[in-house]
Amino acid sequence: MIYITKVMILLSRFLKIFIKKKMKKSLYEQLAEDVRFQEGMNACINCGTCTAVCPAAEFYDYDPRRIVDLVQSGDEAEIERLLRSETIWYCGECMSCVTRCPRKNAPGLIIMAMRSLAQELGYFTDSEKGRQQLALKRRIGDNILNTGYCVYARTVSYEDHPEAGPVWQWSLNNMDAIHERLGGNIDGDGAGVLRKIPQEDLDELKRIFEVTGGMERFEKIESYSAQKAKETGLSIDEYATRTYKGEH
């Protein structure tokens, strides 16, 4: 018993040292641990080809060339500014950039790594598009875990999408009849469109999320968002609705 206690004390000390060392890592070092960053960052020659072919650059104040250049510099202040900004959420992850880059950099992968780090550190709550991660987690992430589908018809509401018009509203109100007429199998057993996913498959899916860190990431998005909601005097549900609609 005494031996076990000593081992536990030593493990506790080691864990504290490990956490302390990890906290001391620079933002660049933390990015460099992400396999997407390792695959996406070779040696930028600042030619601007990625920006020239980037669809997002046409519509947003978004310049992948400049982002890669700033990250490559290792400037901590600039990297933190990017992690807290709207900029990293403009990318559509289409990977047009890597198809043309003469050095085979992949700004899209670098952006993925930056988004992941912003979620890990809670920086995503400092920008409007970043705050919408909570809505995405709840509307898509929770759908996947609870139903097995990214988009599940019964969780879609007309109130959230009035721009879809009255025909779509009618479709939502008559969903079961429409699926029956068209041969769908919504929430039914067996095969068919929107069939019910067996519970054992959903359990396996959740286990995959747990093992790969997906559940932990979801929890962090909820936790950091709850902190931000509290700072603004909103309940977490009010915060989720406002951020989804771009009102906060």
User: Within a domain: residue 143?
Assistant: yes
pLDDT digits (tens, 9 = 90+) for 160-211: 888 889 998 999 999 999 988 988 899 999 988 889 999 999 999 999 999 9
Domain boundary among 129, 161, 190: 129
User: Within a domain: residue 37?
Assistant: yes
Domain boundary among 81, 114, 129: 129
Distance (Å, rounded) from C-alpha 207 to C-alpha 140?
17
Once rounded to an integer, what is the mean pLDDT over residues 59-79?
94
Domain that holds residue 156: 131-244
Query: Is residue 103 located within the same domain as residue 47?
Result: yes
Mean residue pLDDT across the chain: 89
Structure tokens of 26?
């620079």
pLDDT digits (tens, 9 = 90+) for 19-33: 555 558 999 999 999
Structure tokens of 115?
């988004």
What number of other Cβ atoms are within 10 A of residue 86's Cβ?
15
Q: Kindly list the distances between the CA atom of residue 50 and the CA atoms of 94, 97, 159, in Å, as whole numbers in the listed order.
A: 12, 4, 39
Enter the pTM of the model. 0.82
Angular region, 193: left φ>0, alpha ψ -120 to 50, beta rest: beta
